[in-house]
Amino acid sequence: MTTNPPRRRATIHDVAKRAGVSITTVSHALNGKGVIADATRKRVVETAADLGYSPDAIARGLRSRRLGILGLVIRPLDTLGSYQPEGVDYFLRFAGAAAVEALDRGYGLALMRDPTVGNAPGIALAADGFIISDPVASDPVIELLTRNGIAVVAVGRDIERPEFTAWLGAGTHTNTDAVIQHFLERGATRIAIVTGEDNNSWNADSELTYRAWAAERGQTPLVYHQDEGLGEAGGRALAEQLLASGEPLPDAIYCLTGRHAAGMQAGLQAAGYLIPDDIMIASGSDSEQTRNSAPPITSIDLAPEATAKAAVTFLVELLDGVPDADPDADPDGDGAGDPVPPEVEYRIRDRASTRSMR
C-alpha cells in the first residue's frame, strides 16, 4: 500500500509569485495594512485562499511582540495535586469564564501549572500575560514573571509582597464580617472558624478578620485549621476533634471551604446534633457539596464568572496600557495612571443550615 507524501505547506513566497506581487504586498494585503489597490488586495486574498496559505501565527506574534495567549495558574489546584478535584467547581467555572472572556478580547487562554517547578515545559512562559488565582505568600510565580517583565494579575493578594498591587478580589474581610453578622442575627453567641492551611490571603485575611471580631467582643477565638486536600474527610475529622475536646461546642461554625463545611456538618449529624437547631454551619465558598448537603449549607457566592471576567479585563488593560480612571495616579510619569482593579460583588446564599428553628 502506497501513501501520498504530505502536501508542502504554501508559503508567502508562493502567494507572491502566483499573484504577481511582492512579499510585502502580500503581507499588507492579508493584514489589512498599507495602501494597496482594492483589486490587488482582492487578488492576493483569493490567491492565498486557493493555495491554502495562512500566516504563521507564532512568527507574526514574535514580530508584534504579542503571542495572543494569556496564561492561567490556579494555585489551590496545584496544592490539591489534581485539576479535577471533586466538588471544587469554583475553579472550573472560573477557568471556563476566563477562557470565554479572553477569546472575546482576541486572546487564547492556556491553563498552566506552576512554571517555577523543575519539570515545567520550556514554553511555560510563552504568554503575553498571566493570571494567578490565590497566590501563596512570596509567590515564586509572581517573582519569576516580574523578573522577566511579563504582565501578571492576581486574584487575591500576595500577603508577603505589599508592593505588588496588580490584584483584585478584596472581599475576604467583608465576606467574613458578613458571615459573622449572619450568625449573630440568628442567635449565635459562640462562633468558630475553620480555615485551610494554604499560605494565601483567603485563609490569612479571613482568620485576621475573625480574630479582630473576637477580640472586640471579648471572646476567646475558636480557630481551627485543616488541609484543603483532605476535603470532606478533613471536615469530619475536625468534627470528631471538637466532640472529643470536652469543651463546649460552638453554636456556629464558619468553614472557608465547602468541602470542609459539608464534612463538618455530616460529622456533627452522625453524632446526633441537629443542623441548624444545635449548630449552624456556613461556608466561605459555594460548591456542589454545600448546595447538595442535607440541609443545604449557607455559603458565600464568590462569583467565579464575574471574577474571571474582571481578571481578564484587568490583565488586558495592563497589556494595552489603558489609563487609570484617576488621572492623577501616574507613578510612572508617563502621563497615564495604571489600570484600576475591577471590583466584584459577592453575596451570601442563605440556606437551611443557618435558618435556626429555635
> 163 in helix, strand or coil?
coil
Q: What are phi and psi of 112, to 5 degrees?
A: -125, 150
Domain ranges of the chain: 12-55, 69-170+305-320, 172-301+347-354
Q: What is the pLDDT of residues 49-71, one digit of tens each?
A: 888 776 654 455 544 467 789 99
What is the percent of the chain where pLDDT is above 70?
82
Cis peptide before 276 (omega within 30 of 0): yes
CATH number, domain 172-301+347-354, options 1.10.1200.10, 3.40.50.2300, 3.40.220.10, 3.30.70.100: 3.40.50.2300
Q: What is the pLDDT of residues 82-134, one digit of tens each?
A: 544 545 678 889 999 999 999 998 899 998 878 887 666 666 778 899 999 99
pLDDT at 53: 76
**One-letter identity of residue 169:** G
pLDDT at 327: 43
pLDDT at 50: 85
Look at residues 311, 306, 262 and name the one whose alpha carbon lies nearest to residue 282. 262
Residues 6+ apart with CB under 8 A from 169: 155, 156, 307, 344
pTM, rounded to two decimals:
0.75
Domains 69-170+305-320 and 172-301+347-354 share a fold: yes
Q: What is the largest CA-CA distance in the chain?
A: 90
pLDDT-based confidence at 325, cuts 50/70/90?
Answer: very low
pLDDT at 75: 82
pLDDT-based confidence at 326, cuts 50/70/90?
Answer: very low
pLDDT at 156: 92
Average pLDDT over residues 33-45: 84
Residues 6+ apart with CB under 8 A from 9: 52
Give the C-alpha separation, 158 to 155, whole Å. 9
pLDDT-based confidence at 357, cuts 50/70/90?
Answer: very low
Three cell numbers written together for 338: 495604571
Assign residue 207 a region: left if phi > 0, alpha if psi is -120 to 50, beta otherwise?
alpha
pLDDT at 118: 64
CATH code for the domain defined by 12-55: 1.10.260.40
**Mean pLDDT over the full length of the chain:** 85
Q: Give the domain 69-170+305-320 fold.
A: Rossmann fold (3.40.50)
CA dihedral 183, 294, 235, 285 (to 10 degrees): -60
Q: What is the pLDDT of residues 253-306, one digit of tens each?
A: 999 999 999 999 999 999 999 999 999 999 999 988 999 999 999 999 999 999
Q: What stretches of 2-141 adopt beta strand conformation (E)?
A: 69-74, 108-112, 129-133
Bridge-based pairing of strands 222-225 and 252-255 is unpaired
Q: How far is CA 22 from CA 9, 16, 18, 27, 158, in A?
A: 19, 6, 10, 9, 52
Total residue count of the chain as it appears in this document: 358
